[in-house]
Amino acid sequence: MKIIKILLTAMMAISLTAHAAPDVKIGLVLPFSGVFTSLGNDTENGFRLGIEKFANGTNVKIIKADSEGNPAIGLSKTKKIVFQDKVDVMSGIVSSAVLGAVRDTLHNSKTPMVVANAGNIHATGKDCSPYIVRVSFSNAQITRPMGDWMAKQGIKTAYVMAPDYAAGHQMINAFREEFEKGGGKVIGEVYPPLQGVTDYSSYLAVAKASEAESMFVFFPGSAAINFVKQYHDFGIAKDVPLYAAGFLTSPSYVQVQGKAADGIISSLHYLLDLPYEENTKFKQAYESRYNKPASEFSVAGYDAARLVMEAWNKADGDKEAFVKNLSNTSFKGPRSKLSIDPKTHNVVQNIYILKNRWDGEQIVQELIETYEDRKDAANGCQL
Ligand code: BEZ
């Protein structure tokens, strides 16, 4: 009798373990500290919401790690997740520098990765990989339309500013190319360090002294909050209007910037008020779950989870089919239709030009123009 009882208990334990084993293990590497903290939190929130919506009964285990937005730390956390936790697929990565650092590890270990933010152009250009797919944006994809749009408004000169790391230089280079193609001229530039700068006044003084007609910048996260407040306090908005990659006034923190963000025009792949049913549903679900507005970061997290789950569920356990499915997809989500370009594995999507306006109580973001179906050139990628 005693032996039967022991056997039954053991069998129950085995069946419980079998039931609890995940069907898919996902590594999520994001910055949960440092200048990108709010971006990492928003991306994780969107990703978890996406998993709930699109898992379709598949048992998912998420193993997350804090990259701190630092390439060396991001690399060691990625190695742990790939080689020790042996995940089936990875997602996340906010910083272009971190993406550059982990690229070889992912490629050589054949670990599929769905990039949920980092816009490093090389990851879907000269360093592209069959295993790396990006559902967020490329840095150049965001800022080219702004260069074109500003030139078309007749703006002749710009002073440019961005943090001194891969994304900063790539965003500015693409902006400059398009702005100068349209007849504008960049007449000065400066690249402050990404981490640790809280006072931009000396940089703003140089920008003002350049007598440029406009300023174009890229700053993300806590750097964006500081920059916008100081730009406002400096009192140069009338003389030098501010244009930006839209991460400067993300819905994640634009209400903290408040009136200081009034008048800033920028380009981005998402706007809270996009008039699509998918967006309305997503925004409502996000706000009621997390008690704050969605952002471009939470949308890309949500879409990354959708991409992973739909590709996984269609593959029926075949890992090669899963990798193929990741790059062979298109769907309509909160930011409108998007697809993955099989030639580069970068997303093809609309880019929106938007204006921040203070309505007396809060900032509203108004859509000015849509650049439809923006697709990057192959830039050396041969897939
Ligand atoms: C990047 O490093 O690629 C990046 C970070 C924050 C916002 C946009 C791009």
Q: Which residues of the chain have pLDDT under 70?
A: 1-20
- Tell me the CA distances in angstroms from 215 to 273, 309, 377, one per residue in order: 26, 41, 27
CA of 221 to the centre of ligand 1 (A): 9
Contacts of 292 (CB under 8 A, 6+ apart): none
> What pLDDT, on the 0 to 100 scale, is given for residue 8?
45
118 lines ligand 1 (CB under 6 A): yes
95 lines ligand 1 (CB under 6 A): yes
> What pLDDT, on the 0 to 100 scale, is given for residue 21?
73
C-alpha span between 134 and 93 (Å, rounded): 10
Specify the 3-state DSSP secondary structure of 1.
coil
Give the pairing of strands 157-161 and 265-268.
unpaired
Q: Give the pTM.
A: 0.93
DSSP-derived letter for residue 315 is H
Contacts of 231 (CB under 8 A, 6+ apart): 200, 204, 237, 242, 260
> What pLDDT, on the 0 to 100 scale, is given for residue 14?
41
Q: How deeply is 360 buried, as exposed, middle or buried, from its count of CB atoms within 10 A (0-12, 13-18, 19+)?
A: exposed
94 lines ligand 1 (CB under 6 A): yes
For the chain, helix, strand, coil in percent to 5 are 45, 20, 35
CB 125 within 8 A of CB 148: no
CA of 117 to the centre of ligand 1 (A): 7
> What pLDDT, on the 0 to 100 scale, is given for residue 4?
47
For the chain, give me the number of helices (H) and strands (E)? 12, 14
C-alpha span between 118 and 207 (Å, rounded): 27
69 lines ligand 1 (CB under 6 A): no
CB 149 within 8 A of CB 112: no
DSSP-derived letter for residue 83 is I
**Which atom of ligand 1 lies nearest, measured to the CA of 165?**
2
> What pLDDT, on the 0 to 100 scale, is given for residue 323?
97
- Tell me the CA distances in angstroms from 262 to 63, 83, 243, 251, 337, one per residue in order: 40, 48, 11, 13, 29
Nearest alpha-carbon partner for 304 in 41, 39, 51: 51
297 lines ligand 1 (CB under 6 A): no
User: Which pair of structure tokens corresponds to residue 163?
Assistant: 């943090």
Using CA positions, which residue lies closest to atom 6 of ligand 1? 220
